A and B are shown apart, each in its own frame.
Chain A
């Protein structure tokens, strides 16, 4: 039975969607991942209130940094739990036995992680706006959050797949992830700041370009090397 290209293409997408659907359905029932990420994010907002004196004049400058710190740390939490669950419940072995391209597993997990990050972000943004009386629903900012999250989820899923197989799994992911995520964070913070302070596109454009470039490069790399990370 020869696979025509269209059938192979469809089965790849179907595999990706199945994995995303599995993660979402499991999460809907237990809600342990999302609640952990969410409570953590809200607590970090609270801590920042005491750590920094966020007077109204300081808010436009400080907010991008605070937001991305929150998203980074909550994201790390989510990535760790997501891949640990996969490994501990033996799901990963099952997935590897299935007749699908390994990269389908990567994209499925990555998009699942991205969805969780975005759910947290969708909740954190209005809460932050509410607590600091500072409107964050600017289209440009939402775009930056999306682009940043995509890159973060891509590199994070790849590195989390490695970290979860090591002995020091919990602490290892942030140590591996943060040095390599710096260009993304820098671009995201600068671009967010640009939009929040109403700066012109000539200032913001280089950062947006860097974000998109980073996303493309690391999605490609993760897609290519994921095989080496999960093979037995």
Chain B
């Protein structure tokens, strides 16, 4: 478990290449949008980061369920890795969204369904990490983490639905007729391609980071075991 697998090295290189290519696509390939001009270009990475943030949450919830069923601590390592990485990606999504929102909607923030749910999801991530920090026993920590991700995974869609019942001004993105909500825009094929490519790149980056973090988790567990052995 000490030597870095070749596949991981390949993924790291691939992530870097994809990322650079995405930036190139965003600035040189995707056309300039009619109304919002350069500000609109934030959208490509914003969507990619938000997608990865949510994906990480699903991975964490699934890992939690696997842990509760199989009691194998490796699932716990996957879970905490997914949460840590998603925390950062989702935070980037929130900040980039705000930067986009200010010139477009005239406000940094609005309490519509998606944004409010995003803020709550971010807080659940932080609460999860604080819960783990307060518990020393690894088995208990794993169990509690799994229970909390499960509770969160059920609560977040309900939150989204409940605010959706209420109101929304978040723009609809996919589709030509989407300019109904404020700030919406129709996407031409090059834009669509750039967006999908960005999402793909960030997914690869997510998997790479997750793998690296999981390896770190395993090494940490090994170190803890060795420490216990020395103490005896």
Interface of A toward B, CB cutoff 8 Å: 155, 158-159, 162-163, 165-169, 172, 175-176, 178-183, 186-187, 190, 206-207, 210, 213-214, 217-218, 221, 225, 228-229, 231
Contact = CB atoms under 8 A, between A and B. Distances in A.
Contacts of A214: 158
B42 interface: no
Contact of A172 (B68, B130, B147, B151): B130
A180 B124 contact: yes
Contacts of A221: 150-151, 154
A159 B162 CA distance: 22
A210 B147 contact: no
B134 A169 contact: yes
A221 B131 CA distance: 19
A159 B151 contact: yes
Nearest to B134: A166
A186 B123 CA distance: 17
9 contacts: A162-B144, A167-B135, A167-B136, A175-B127, A180-B155, A181-B155, A183-B155, A186-B162, A217-B158
Given A206-B165, A213-B158, 18 more contacts: A159-B148, A162-B148, A165-B144, A169-B134, A175-B130, A179-B152, A181-B155, A182-B162, A183-B155, A183-B159, A183-B161, A186-B163, A186-B166, A190-B166, A210-B161, A217-B158, A225-B147, A231-B143
B135 A165 contact: yes
B120 interface: yes
B133 interface: yes
Interface in B88-115: none
Contact of B140 (A165, A168, A180, A210): A165
B149 to A, nearest CB: 11
A190 B164 CA distance: 13
A63 B131 CA distance: 33
Nearest to A225: B147
B146 interface: yes
A74 B142 CA distance: 30
A228 B140 CA distance: 9
A92 B126 CA distance: 28
A155 B151 contact: yes
Contacts of A231: 143
A167 B133 CA distance: 8
A206 B127 CA distance: 29
Contacts of A167: 134-136
B127 A217 contact: no
Contact of A228 (B68, B127, B130, B165): B68
Contact of A182 (B120, B136, B143, B146): B120
Given A183-B161, A210-B165, A217 B154 contact: yes
B151 A168 contact: no
A87 B135 CA distance: 15
Contact of A176 (B131, B158, B162): B131
Contacts of A158: 147, 151
A126 to B, nearest CB: 30
A158 B76 CA distance: 20
A186 B155 CA distance: 12
Contacts of A182: 120, 155, 159, 162
